[in-house]
Amino acid sequence: MSVETVDLRAATSANAAEAIERAGAALRDGRLVIVGTETVAGIAASAASRAALDRMWALKGAERRTALAWHLPTREAVLRIWQPVSLLQHRLIEKLLPGPVTFSVPMDPDDLETIRLGWSLVPATVEDAGRLLLRVPGNEAARRVIAAARSPVVISAVSTEVRRAASVEEALDILGGRSGTEHIEAAIHDGAGSGRPSTLIGLESDGGWEVQRTGVLEERYIQKMINRTILFVCTGNTCRSPMAEAIARHLVDAAPIPGLVTIVKSAGAYAGPGAPATPEAIRAVESMGIRMHAHASTPLSRELVNEADAIFGLTRAHTDAILAIAPEAADKVAVLDPDGRDVPDPIGAPQGVYDSTAAAIRPLIERRLAELNSAHERPTGATP
């Protein structure tokens, strides 16, 4: 069997683009393409072509036909097809796609029929008992082929009774003795996968989720990935941001979201390590019935920025300092006040100023938590 194999890592940009376009055109025309993913290498076919699907199943041999994952090029493409109904489901999609995950999502029969007709899907191809199977591969080669197809694509693993093909070379070796290989247009990849299947996660109509098949990702890793971290940043991390951290932790603990762990931290843009919160800051939050845990100042770092899901500077100068460290974090950085006003520094002022500052911070945090607990998790008023 002679099939053109293209490793995008070794191809020039022009040659890679040409190979991708040829593969996309072949899929639209009902031919097959071997595609490497981060999990396994598989046979890609158009889910809108019965002839292509017949060729794919014939090439796979005696396997019973089952529903396959609809492979999409982007996370946004998934969200255009199916909308999560809870914050947890949004976080799963946000954190795990693209990646080695397949989502099984419930569909209303009328909505499912609308999708079938709109995409010309062959019935019972990407659906199972009223649920759609959706996946966005984690590697670029597969996503580029899918995008170039401009047609719904399924990719079915090439395997034997004892192994799954981790690379396109393995896949071609397994398929070499089977009839139907003349329908394969090309094999495209950018490296071998793990040889393990994607993890199957069921997203339920009540907003919950469950791992239905463990693959590359284990449930404990997934749970860790969807934990949420909120970071507050001021100047020295001894007054405003410790108060904000204590208030936010109190509010989160008072109204927990089932299944979601929220971690609250604070740091100082110009802080030294290990300084305690000022006594006035501690008394200010205690007067609100909030306990400030033992606090030691933490300097702002790229690591803290990278691990946070939302970062709030107490002033515009603080957001500027954050973005000076990590300009790529702009979409998750904002001034704490949604209206863009600074929270003045009470350092050196009497206790009454600290009390007023804490009282002003609390409703700002309440507004920000309400934003984060809604369907979309990006703080509004983000610093450009």
Inform me whether the pLDDT recorded for 372 exceeds 60.
Answer: yes
Distance CA 176, CA 202 (A): 35
Q: For residue 41, give Cα distances in angstroms to 56, 102, 156, 178, 190.
A: 14, 15, 8, 17, 11
Q: What percent of the chain has pLDDT over 70?
A: 97
Distance CA 121, CA 127 (A): 10
What pTM did the predictor assign?
0.86
Please name which of 62, 41, 82, 28 lies closest in space to residue 178, comparing C-alpha atoms: 62
CA angle centred on 383, ends 377 and 384, rounded to 5°: 110
Tell me the mean pLDDT in the region 283-310: 96
Distance of CA 303 to the CA centre of its chain: 19
345 as an active site residue: the answer is yes
Tell me the mean pLDDT in the region 249-277: 95
Distance of CA 45 to the CA centre of its chain: 25
Inform me whether the pLDDT recorded for 380 exceeds 70.
Answer: no
Residues 6+ apart with CB under 8 A from 315: 234, 335, 342, 343
Inform me whether the pLDDT recorded for 340 exceeds 50.
Answer: yes
For 199-223, the pLDDT digits (tens) are: 999 999 999 999 999 999 999 999 9
Q: What letter represents residue 163's amino acid? A: R
131 as an active site residue: the answer is no
For 13-37, the pLDDT digits (tens) are: 999 999 999 999 999 999 999 999 9
Which is catalytic among the residues 234, 239, 249, 337? 234
For residue 335, list its beta bridge partners.
313
Inform me whether the pLDDT recorded for 75 exceeds 90.
Answer: yes
Task: Determine which of 165-169, 340-344, 372-376 has the lowest per-residue pLDDT on average.
Answer: 372-376
- In which band, very low, low, confident or very high, does the pLDDT at 61 lie, cut at 50, 70 and 90? confident
In CATH, 4-223 is 3.90.870.10: yes
Cβ–Cβ < 8 Å for 115, 77: no
Q: How many other C-beta atoms lie within 10 A of the C-beta of residue 220?
A: 9
Query: Which strand (E) or helix (H) includes residue 362?
Result: helix 351-372
Cβ–Cβ < 8 Å for 53, 164: no
Which is catalytic among the residues 342, 345, 355, 367? 345
Domain ranges of the chain: 4-223, 227-372
Residues 6+ apart with CB under 8 A from 32: 26, 43, 44, 45, 52, 55, 56, 59, 183, 184, 185
Q: β-pairing, 127-128 with 70-71?
A: unpaired
Which is catalytic among the residues 240, 249, 362, 368? 240
In CATH, 227-372 is 3.40.50.2300: yes
Q: For residue 179, give Cα distances in angstroms to 30, 37, 50, 325.
A: 17, 24, 18, 57
User: What pLDDT is stored for residue 122 in this prediction?
Assistant: 97
User: What pLDDT is stored for residue 1 in this prediction?
Assistant: 64
240 as an active site residue: the answer is yes
Q: For residue 361, give Cα distances in angstroms to 32, 300, 373.
A: 59, 20, 18
Burial level of 164, CB count in 10 A (0-12/13-18/19+)? buried
Please name which of 156, 136, 160 lies closest in space to residue 146, comparing C-alpha atoms: 136
Q: What percent of the chain has pLDDT over 90?
A: 91
Q: How is residue 148 written in tokens?
A: 């170039």
Cβ–Cβ < 8 Å for 345, 234: yes
Tell me the mean pLDDT in the region 358-375: 93
Residue of higher predicted confidence among 308 and 374: 308
Inform me whether the pLDDT recorded for 354 exceeds 50.
Answer: yes
User: What pLDDT is stored for residue 178 in this prediction?
Assistant: 87
Residues 6+ apart with CB under 8 A from 310: 228, 229, 230, 231, 332, 334, 368, 372, 377, 378, 379
